[in-house]
Amino acid sequence: MSALQYETKEKLSSRLAELEKVYQGYKQRGLKLDMSRGKPEPEQLDLTMGLLDCVNLREGYRTKDGFDTRNYGLFDGIPEMKEIFSGFFEVDESQVIVGGNSSLNLMFDFISMAYSKGILGNPPWSRQKGVKFLCPSPGYDRHFKITEYFGIEMITVNMTAEGPDMEQVEKYAADPLVKGIWCVPIYSNPDGITYSAKTVRRLAALKAAAPDFCIMWDMAYYLHHLEEPGDTLLNLYRESEANGTENRVVMFASTSKISFPGAGVAAMAASPDVIADVRRRLSVQTIGYDKINMLRHVRFFGSYQNMCKHMKLHAAIIRPKFKAVLDTLEKNLAGKGIAEWNRPRGGYFISVNLLDGCAKETVRLLKEAGVEMTPAGATYPYGNDPRDRNIRIAPTFPPISELQVSMELFCVCAEIACIKKMISEAW
Amino acid sequence: MSALQYETKEKLSSRLAELEKVYQGYKQRGLKLDMSRGKPEPEQLDLTMGLLDCVNLREGYRTKDGFDTRNYGLFDGIPEMKEIFSGFFEVDESQVIVGGNSSLNLMFDFISMAYSKGILGNPPWSRQKGVKFLCPSPGYDRHFKITEYFGIEMITVNMTAEGPDMEQVEKYAADPLVKGIWCVPIYSNPDGITYSAKTVRRLAALKAAAPDFCIMWDMAYYLHHLEEPGDTLLNLYRESEANGTENRVVMFASTSKISFPGAGVAAMAASPDVIADVRRRLSVQTIGYDKINMLRHVRFFGSYQNMCKHMKLHAAIIRPKFKAVLDTLEKNLAGKGIAEWNRPRGGYFISVNLLDGCAKETVRLLKEAGVEMTPAGATYPYGNDPRDRNIRIAPTFPPISELQVSMELFCVCAEIACIKKMISEAW
């Protein structure tokens, strides 16, 4: 089928009428489907049920060096959990802090510390007017909400196929009030883009005017490959060490989408200086995180290598879902010139760009017919997609039958929104 | 034995020589004992081992209304855990937020919010010069560390047998820069004092000049009775409602010393307005706390009432330890006019006041002989006990045999320090 923009108004109108009839049919079915959250489906969670009872009276509750995980102490994590994350981040165990169940919480707390106390001896951001942060977009809405909460001005940076537009990043970073950048460097949320080696090297070499510039490096999907072999990511910390900029790098991860979203283990890693800052705060902030849960993870996975292998089981469950989404998009929207989408090799999302000005209307139509999507715009700072074109699709949670229905309807709604836009604008 | 201060110098000197011989004997034993932390002993932790495997494949992982605790969602806690804490705090479930494993973390985050964002629409404390906080002392060192971290000036308020000296509190609260007060209202840390009904009523009726004054009400030992019946505490929130001051009350608790210090469940409760503020922050700060661990606690305890009953098992284990400490103090120091101590009816500590200027020296002597105590002064803001007389004893963790040895030595060291002081000053 040729691109819709070359069609006559009459043909478009008749196509619209046809689609609206199909849409009404869906509406009458009284659907109630949710495609809004990037969360694992129950079958994925079943994979780690053995984790839940591997710390008990019979098998004991002590770390390898005899520490009772039930009691107070070891506020920044048990050694064997640090070891696993040391493998993950490829830094020394002394540079790892193991947290509670939420890496987002570790990120919030880090920004909160920079805001209220300052990092590495620099004045707190709360004492400086006009502090800014770079937000490669589309990106992760929960990142943007953190900087928004602290009243930090967010600057949208474009995403390219290799990661954030480094020309823009370099230009903005010359301003000492620009304090950092949010990054999901592998299988980015929502685009599924993995930063190229060149991008990582440019980030490591970045001339940032702010002495407390920080690269919030959220490795949420580092192990979440859909294809074999998975994408690889250059180690930003190593590259930064070579440039003497390692104090800028703060890495985050969690097992939320490896074990349980509600009860996983989060961790962060950074330079010895930055970790010392964080540890000073942590020793005041908490009595320590849940060490029994750390021990459960250590026992269940055994090693970082096993954790990596375990992810193949997740991939096997969700790969068909990604395929279903992509096949449906292909079948219904390919070649029409109204939509583009990525084919992610990992991660949790498929990102669709429609004609400008058509994302909100598509999501509205879906909602009216009973399908909940991530709000259009959510992937941009302040929830404001300047071109109103990006929609994030989260294929993992719904059963494949629901996914099929939702995606068929998605394509109908997207085409309706785009044709209406074309009719109203072109003639 | 008559009070030492009525003795002659000669008698004191010969007593000192005698004690120093005993002290040298202890030193040669190469002791390595720790009395520094208020933590449960392993036998107490064994009481809740059944909690660890009561959420599993067989018994399921869903809340009573079918929610999968393994996945994302319910960021402020599962309903049945809120119910238990609603019984604890005696407020509506909607006013309860269930956190991670550390109530200290909830307190830190609350002060952090007041500092960086402000509460109830008031300007952030970071924007006001000279913000202060009231610290009834001796008190809990970790509370004081939080306000110290944020550079909030701490004002020491005396403790009386009925709680903080309310004359002082009322006087200071007339200053709009005084933003709140730290309270451990039942079996206070370290004095074991329970605030009288009169004190609670005066706090509820307090005329605080700051519109964002907050009473940080840490109910850490609310269920930790050593005697039957235990102390009762008037409900500050109810009393405050009657005075229209309920927006000042922020209550905290955890199961750290009910289930596991390393893996319990913390919670907070406050007025609907304050809870709305906290919830707004939480929805940005975290993806949600560990719901599986909440469900474990709900299943193991079943109800708030059962949790209360469970505490009798703890009391049975630690009561003999408190008795051992008190008996040893009585036997060695009573009537000498150099030491006073409380006889707590609950909680985790025994607080000893020596002659002025003798606490640090006593702790130093103990350390030299291999017994670690909480640092002298730790129970005061900035770690500075103005009279250098208070020592906190934590009897729960060490086995009773170690406790006996430590306490005998404690009495020797205390008497040495006091006699040396008396000799140096009186003649």
pLDDT in tens, A378-411: 999 999 999 999 999 999 999 999 999 999 999 9
DSSP strand pairing (A96-98 vs A266-270): antiparallel
Q: For an interface test with A, which of B146, B280, B292, B397 has the most A Cβ atoms less than 10 Å from its Cβ?
A: B292
The SS3 call for residue B131 is: coil
The encoded tokens of residue B281 equal 């922050």
Q: Which of A290, A289, A291 is nearest to A64 (CA)?
A: A291
Q: What are phi and psi of B42, to 5 degrees?
A: -50, -40
Question: Of the candidates B142, B148, B284, which has its C-beta nearest A146's C-beta?
Answer: B284
Sign of CA dihedral B259, B262, B263, B267: positive
Answer whether A236's CB lies under 8 Å from A197's CB: no
Residue B297's alpha-carbon distances to A24, A57, B98, in angstroms, are 48, 16, 12
DSSP letter (8 states) at residue B71:
S
- The interface residues of chain B toward chain A in range 158-197, judged by CB-CB distance below 8 A, are none
The encoded tokens of residue A315 equal 């991939």
Q: Angle CA(A124)–CA(A130)–CA(A135) in degrees, nearest 5?
A: 95
Return the pLDDT at B426.
Answer: 67
Q: Residue B37: pLDDT above 90?
A: no
User: Looking at this predicted complex, what is its ipTM?
Assistant: 0.96
What share of chain A has pLDDT > 70, as a percent?
Answer: 99
Q: Residue A419: pLDDT above 80?
A: yes
- The interface residues of chain A toward chain B in range 69-88, judged by CB-CB distance below 8 A, are 69-73
What is the average pLDDT across A342-356?
Answer: 96
The encoded tokens of residue B201 equal 């009523």
A292 contact residues in B (CB cutoff 8 A): 52, 260, 262-263
Q: Residue A3: pLDDT above 90?
A: no
Return the pLDDT at B1.
Answer: 45
Where along chain B do the CATH 3.40.640.10 domains lie? 61-302
What share of chain A has pLDDT > 90, as a percent?
Answer: 94
Return the pLDDT at A1.
Answer: 46
What share of chain B has pLDDT > 70, as a percent?
Answer: 99
d(CA A58, CA B205): 53
Query: What is the rounded (10 degree) CA torsion for B224, B228, B234, B238?
Result: 80
Residue B232: exposure state from Cβ atoms within 10 A (0-12, 13-18, ≥19): exposed
Helix orientation angle between A79-89 and A304-333, rounded to the nearest 10 degrees: 50
Cβ-based neighbour number of residue B25 at 10 Å = 12
d(CA B9, CA B248): 55
CATH of domain A4-44+308-426: 3.90.1150.10
Answer whether A253's CB lies under 8 Å from A262's CB: no
Q: What residue type is A183 in one-letter code?
A: C
The encoded tokens of residue A115 equal 């805001």
B105 contact residues in A (CB cutoff 8 A): 285-287
Sign of CA dihedral A196, A200, A205, A211: positive
Strands (DSSP E) along A103-248, which ranges?
132-137, 153-160, 163-164, 178-183, 214-218
Q: Which residues pair with B163 in a beta bridge?
A: B160
pLDDT band at A426 (very low <50, low <70, confident <90, very high): low
The SS3 call for residue A33 is: strand
Answer whether A386's CB lies under 8 Å from A156's CB: yes
Q: Residue A15: pLDDT above 50?
A: yes
What order of strands is seen across the sheet that includes strand A390-393?
A339-341, A350-354, A390-393
Where along chain A do the CATH 3.90.1150.10 domains lie? 4-44+308-426
The SS3 call for residue B136 is: strand
DSSP letter (8 states) at residue B209:
S
What is the average pLDDT across B164-184?
Answer: 98
Smallest CA–CA separation between A16 and chain B, in Å?
A: 38
Smallest CA–CA separation between A241 and chain B, in Å?
A: 30
Q: Which residues pair with A149 in a beta bridge?
A: none
Nearest CA in chain A to B74: A262
Q: What are phi and psi of A345, to 5 degrees?
A: -95, 10
The SS3 call for residue B48 is: coil
Of A59-68, B2-11, B385-394, minimum mean pLDDT range: B2-11
pLDDT, one tens digit per residue, over B219-266 is: 999 999 999 999 999 999 999 999 999 999 999 999 999 999 989 999
Helices (H), A206-290: 236-243, 272-285
Q: Which residues pair with B372 in a beta bridge?
A: B34
Smallest CA–CA separation between A102 and chain B, in Å?
A: 6
Residue B306's alpha-carbon distances to A272, A320, B253, in angstroms, are 46, 47, 17
pLDDT, one tens digit per residue, over A180-211 is: 999 999 999 999 999 999 999 999 999 999 99
d(CA B259, CA B52): 10
Q: Which residues of A218-230 are buried (b: 16+ CB within 10 A; e: fewer)?
A: bbbbbbbbbeeeb
Sequence-distant (6+) residues with CB within 8 A of A19 are A412, A415, A416, A419
A60 Rama sector, left if φ>0, alpha if ψ -120 to 50, beta otherwise: left
Answer whether B383's CB lies under 8 Å from B307's CB: no
d(CA B427, CA B420): 11
Q: Would you mind telling me the total number of residues written for chain A in this entry?
A: 427
- Element of type H or E holding B268: strand B266-270
Q: What are phi and psi of B214, to 5 degrees?
A: -135, 135
Residue B231's alpha-carbon distances to A178, B185, B346, B352, in angstroms, are 55, 11, 8, 21
The 8 Å CB, 24+ separation contacts for A58-67 are A59/A299, A61/A292, A61/A295, A61/B52, A63/A291, A63/A295
A351 touches chain B (CB under 8 A): no
A124 contact residues in B (CB cutoff 8 A): 126
Answer whether A88's CB lies under 8 Å from A304's CB: yes
A70 contact residues in B (CB cutoff 8 A): 45, 260-263
d(CA B426, CA A315): 80
A142 touches chain B (CB under 8 A): yes
Question: Of the candidates A50, A124, A293, which has its C-beta nearest B263's C-beta?
Answer: A293
Are residues B52 and A49, on separate chains, in Cβ contact within 8 Å? Answer: no
Name the average pLDDT for chain B.
96
Are residues B149 and A117, on separate chains, in Cβ contact within 8 Å? Answer: yes
Q: What residue type is B405 in one-letter code?
A: V
B61 touches chain A (CB under 8 A): yes
pLDDT band at B167 (very low <50, low <70, confident <90, very high): very high
Q: How far apart are the first and last CA of chain A?
A: 22
Are residues B70 and A263, on separate chains, in Cβ contact within 8 Å? Answer: yes
The encoded tokens of residue A298 equal 């250590």
A69 contact residues in B (CB cutoff 8 A): 262-263
Q: Which of B348, B351, B343, B329 is nearest to B414 (CA)?
A: B329
A290 touches chain B (CB under 8 A): yes
Q: Residue A427: pLDDT above 80?
A: no
A128 touches chain B (CB under 8 A): no
CATH of domain A61-302: 3.40.640.10
Are residues B57 and A37, on separate chains, in Cβ contact within 8 Å? Answer: no
pLDDT, one tens digit per residue, over B182-217 is: 999 999 999 999 999 999 999 999 999 999 999 999
DSSP letter (8 states) at residue B122:
P
d(CA A315, CA A224): 7
A45 touches chain B (CB under 8 A): yes
Return the pLDDT at A9.
Answer: 87
What share of chain B has pLDDT > 90, as a percent?
Answer: 94
Q: Residue B31: pLDDT above 80?
A: yes
pLDDT, one tens digit per residue, over B280-338 is: 999 999 999 999 999 999 999 999 999 999 999 999 999 999 999 999 999 999 999 99
Nearest CA in chain A to B105: A286
Q: For an interface test with A, which of B72, B218, B259 has the most A Cβ atoms less than 10 Å from its Cβ?
A: B72
Name the average pLDDT for chain A.
96
pLDDT, one tens digit per residue, over B82-125 is: 999 999 999 999 999 999 999 999 999 999 999 999 999 999 99
Question: Of the candidates A49, A70, A262, which has its C-beta nearest B263's C-beta?
Answer: A70
Q: Which of A142, A135, A186 is nearest to A159 (CA)?
A: A135
d(CA A296, CA A293): 5
What is the average pLDDT across B134-159?
Answer: 97
**Taking the CA atoms of chain B, what radius of gyration do you get in angstroms?**
23
Residue B306: exposure state from Cβ atoms within 10 A (0-12, 13-18, ≥19): exposed
A288 contact residues in B (CB cutoff 8 A): 101-102, 262
CB pairs under 8 A between A and B: 170
d(CA A209, CA A230): 35
Return the pLDDT at B5.
Answer: 77
Smallest CA–CA separation between B159 and chain A, in Å?
A: 24
Q: Angle CA(A136)–CA(A141)–CA(A147) in degrees, nearest 5?
A: 75
The SS3 call for residue B135 is: strand
B146 contact residues in A (CB cutoff 8 A): 284-285
What is the average pLDDT across A59-84?
Answer: 96
